[in-house]
């Protein structure tokens, strides 16, 4: 007897489809990184640390690379949608796993919320009569629709959006260097901008350290390659490749573009009312080129929101399967294979970001970015702490590693110490202390939820899974 076809809109627990190709996974890592957190957030970091912000990005890039090396080893050996949340749970226990997943979920939700504000800021340049929060709402609706269509469409869109960002940054570096080296001289563009306004580090070490939280927010998103492992066609091939290309892009695009930026734009003129890259482009190439760059940074914001909703919905999907969240969030669409309910709840924060800006315009973006940076850094710390246990599990299960992180134990220890150093450094500034306080309050709330609801639900889900296997 024939069975009736499943209605296209029916939601089932079907699991995820392997629809991401190698180029999609690679660009997902880029899309999660080069967003408004970089194009707009760079203004706040430059204004905080001065030209010495170059060191902040170098330091952040080093930590990013170390963490991603450790994550790649785990993701290749155990490719699951929950990625490092699942690895923390397997190696350190249910509570650390829950705190990791929920904190990352919050961080990557807050991140796109700040990106939606940034997108509204960029659109407001062209349409100043329309309030920024209105644009933020429109962007939230658009990105919700994109993620509901399915992973293949998401992967293809993210590839092209990320490609636009990479090409634009490369052109910015080239044109900036042409001006700096006097091939086509531009008034006020000079290497002297590195030291002319109070020296290379006008705010001292405190400024360099304080800028780190927003810098880490800028780098936050590279770990999305781990959440893509279950939907990658060949994770043992795609993830190491994405790691290598991401490292090159970080060193070349991030650090070099920041170096060129502070040589072009005097650091005291940088802020978050507009992208410093747009301001710098206007100096070296005129208003037409500045408008083109404004379009690029808008694309960057949309791309980062896209990647953020993808990563958070998959994290919620995975945690729902483990019983931490209601089972409704582990259901997927029979047609698109996308976790529809998880996507919808994740997208709500985009709308919340728009409302936050409506009420608190002066500090909404910077505060959201800083708290998001705390969450990303916490997730990275858990990745580093989980790696030794996951390596042991993989060796006992498979007998060997499909891909081994170079450096071994010393690399893992260095990564942990560097992340802890950033947290400690935040205690020496008012804004940093406020960010730490907000992060600790969140962890306490998450811990209370775990003992009140999550622990019992997790135990029940685990028991059901064990019974199903018997």
Q: Is residue 252 part of a domain?
A: yes
Mean pLDDT for 69-97 is: 84
Q: Is residue 310 part of a domain?
A: yes
The pLDDT value recorded for residue 231 is 59
- Both structure tokens of 159: 């590839």
The pLDDT value recorded for residue 368 is 72
| Residue 336 φ/ψ region, left for φ over 0, alpha for ψ in the -120 to 50 degree band, beta for the rest | alpha
Which range in 9-13, 263-267, 383-387 is most confidently predicted, on average pLDDT? 383-387
Domain ranges, residue 306: 20-463
Catalogue the E-assigned strands of 387-454.
Answer: none
Q: Is residue 9 part of a domain?
A: no
Q: What are phi and psi of 94, to 5 degrees?
A: -60, -45
**Is it the case that residue 22 has pLDDT exceeding 80?**
no
Closest listed residue to residue 16, CA positions, set 150, 181, 174: 150
Residue 220: CATH number of its domain: 1.20.1740.10
Percent of the chain with pLDDT over 90: 10
The pLDDT value recorded for residue 285 is 86
User: Cβ(75)–Cβ(238) under 8 Å?
Assistant: no
Closest listed residue to residue 237, CA positions, set 450, 410, 21, 65: 21
Mean pLDDT for 374-390 is: 90
Q: Is residue 153 part of a domain?
A: yes
- Both structure tokens of 191: 């290497």
Closest listed residue to residue 306, CA positions, set 167, 127, 166, 156: 156
DSSP 3-state of 333: strand
- Both structure tokens of 441: 């309050």
The pLDDT value recorded for residue 28 is 56
Q: Is residue 470 part of a domain?
A: no
Q: Is residue 303 part of a domain?
A: yes
Q: What is the pLDDT of residues 115-174, one digit of tens each?
A: 777 777 778 878 888 888 788 888 778 877 776 775 566 566 667 777 787 788 889 999
Q: Is residue 166 part of a domain?
A: yes
Mean pLDDT for 430-438 is: 83
**Is it the case that residue 229 has pLDDT exceeding 70?**
no
CA distance 58 to 66: 13
Supply the mean pLDDT for the chain: 77
How many CB atoms neighbour CB 118 within 10 A?
A: 34
- Total tally of structural domains belonging to the chain: 1
In this prediction, residue 13 has a pLDDT band, given cuts at 50, 70 and 90, of very low
For the ranges 60-64, 314-318, 414-418, 458-462, the lowest mean pLDDT is seen at 458-462
In this prediction, residue 355 has a pLDDT band, given cuts at 50, 70 and 90, of confident
Q: What is the pLDDT of residues 268-294, one digit of tens each?
A: 887 655 678 888 998 888 889 888 888
**Is it the case that residue 192 has pLDDT exceeding 80?**
yes
Which range in 49-63, 73-87, 229-243, 330-344 is most confidently predicted, on average pLDDT? 49-63
Percent of the chain with pLDDT over 70: 77
Q: Is residue 8 part of a domain?
A: no
Q: Which residues, in sequence order, are bridge partners of residue 20?
A: 232
Q: Which residue has the tokens 């020296």?
A: 199
For the ranges 13-22, 313-322, 358-367, 390-399, the lowest mean pLDDT is seen at 13-22
More confident of the two residues 239 and 92: 92
Q: DSSP label at 233? A: S
More confident of the two residues 28 and 102: 102
């Amino acid at each position: 007897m024939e069975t009736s076809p499943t209605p296209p809109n029916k939601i089932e627990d079907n699991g995820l489809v392997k629809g991401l190709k190698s180029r999609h996974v690679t660009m997902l890592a880029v899309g999660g990184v080069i967003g408004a957190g970089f194009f707009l957030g760079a203004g706040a970091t430059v204004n905080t640390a001065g030209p010495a912000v170059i060191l902040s990005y170098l330091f952040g890039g080093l930590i990013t690379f170390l963490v991603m090396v450790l994550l790649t080893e785990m993701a290749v050996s155990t490719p699951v949608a929950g990625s490092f949340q699942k690895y923390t749970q397997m190696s350190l226990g249910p509570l650390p796993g829950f705190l990791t997943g929920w904190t990352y979920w919050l961080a990557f939700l807050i991140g796109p919320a700040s990106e939606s504000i940034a997108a509204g800021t960029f659109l407001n340049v062209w349409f100043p009569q329309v309030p920024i929060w209105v644009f933020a709402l429109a962007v939230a609706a658009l990105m919700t629709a994109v993620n509901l269509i399915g992973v293949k469409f998401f992967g293809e869109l993210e590839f092209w959006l990320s490609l636009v960002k990479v090409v634009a940054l490369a052109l910015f570096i080239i044109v900036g260097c042409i001006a700096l080296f006097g091939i086509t001289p531009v008034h006020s563009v000079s290497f002297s901008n590195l030291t002319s306004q109070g020296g290379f580090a006008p705010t001292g070490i405190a400024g360099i350290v304080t800028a780190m939280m927003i810098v880490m927010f800028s780098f936050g998103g590279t770990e999305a390659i781990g959440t893509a492992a279950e939907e990658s066609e060949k994770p043992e091939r795609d993830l190491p490749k994405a790691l290598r290309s991401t490292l090159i892009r970080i060193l070349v695009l991030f650090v070099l573009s920041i170096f060129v930026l502070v040589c072009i734009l005097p650091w005291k003129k940088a802020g978050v009312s507009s992208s410093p890259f747009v301001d710098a482009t206007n100096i070296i190439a005129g208003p037409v080129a500045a408008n083109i760059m404004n379009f690029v940074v808008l694309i960057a914001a949309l791309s980062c929101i896209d990647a953020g909703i993808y990563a958070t919905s998959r994290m919620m999907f995975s945690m729902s399967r483990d019983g931490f969240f209601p089972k409704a969030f582990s259901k997927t669409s029979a047609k698109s294979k996308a976790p529809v309910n998880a996507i919808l709840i994740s997208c709500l924060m985009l709308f919340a970001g728009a409302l936050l800006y409506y009420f608190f315009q002066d500090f909404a973006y910077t505060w959201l970015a800083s708290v998001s940076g705390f969450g990303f850094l916490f997730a990275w710390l858990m990745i580093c702490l989980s790696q030794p246990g996951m390596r042991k599990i993989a060796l006992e299960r498979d007998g060997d590693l499909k891909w081994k992180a170079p450096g071994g134990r010393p690399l893992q220890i260095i990564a942990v110490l560097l992340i802890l150093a950033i947290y400690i450094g935040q205690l020496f500034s008012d804004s940093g202390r406020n960010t730490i306080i907000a992060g600790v309050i969140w962890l306490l709330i998450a811990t209370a939820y775990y003992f009140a609801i999550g622990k019992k639900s997790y135990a029940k889900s685990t028991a059901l899974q064990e019974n199903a296997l018997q």
